[in-house]
Each structure stands twice: as structure tokens, then as C-alpha cells.
Amino acid sequence: MRSQAKDDIADILLAIYGVPGLYSIGALILFALGNAMQNLISWALLFQIVGVLFIILEIITPIMAGERLLQNLEKKFRKFK
């Protein structure tokens, strides 16, 4: 993957990730909806699958933010050398 595309994806994810824990709250809501609608509709499993994706995003997004901060710090310290 090109570095520009990777940076664009990171920018989008970090722009959405305004509040820490936002994805985990969304995942909990989606899990509850999936369990509540399990007997009513046949595709309620879709809510739980999206909930798992939200949990994965909750883990990945802070890691990506930390990597970008580390890269910015390295660039700044290279200027001082």
C-alpha cells in the first residue's frame, strides 16, 4: 500500500475517532440490538458483525495515532541533529 493512501486512511480514522471509547459504546449498542432482534429478524447477526468491527477499530485507531505522533517526533528531532 502506498504511504499516501495509508496516511489518508489514518487521517479519516483519526478524524472520526474524536472521543475515546466511541467505537466501544457503538459496539455495545450494536450487540444489544443484535441480541434483542435475534428472534424478530433473520439478519440480526449483521449488527453483531459490525459491533466486532467497531471493537477492532477501537483497538487499531489509537495505535495508528501513536505511530503518527512518533513519526512526527522523529522528524522534529532529526532537524536538531
CB 54 within 8 A of CB 30: yes
Answer yes or no: pTM beyond 0.95: no
Instruction: Please report whether residue 45 resides in a domain.
Output: yes
Residues 6 or more apart whose CB falls under 8 angstroms from that of 28 comprise: 51
Q: How many folded domains does the chain comprise?
A: 1
Per the model's pLDDT, the better-predicted residue between 29 and 18 turns out to be 29
Instruction: Please report whether residue 13 resides in a domain.
Output: no
Q: Which domain holds residue 39?
A: 21-80
Per the model's pLDDT, the better-predicted residue between 16 and 63 turns out to be 63
Averaged pLDDT score across all residues of the chain: 82
Identity of the highest mean pLDDT range in 9-18, 29-38, 71-80: 29-38
Instruction: Please report whether residue 3 resides in a domain.
Output: no
- Of 8-12, 50-54, 72-76, the range with the lowest mean pLDDT is 8-12
* pLDDT at 31 exceeding the cut of 90: yes
What is the four-CA torsion angle of 36, 40, 41, 45, rounded to 10 degrees?
Answer: 30
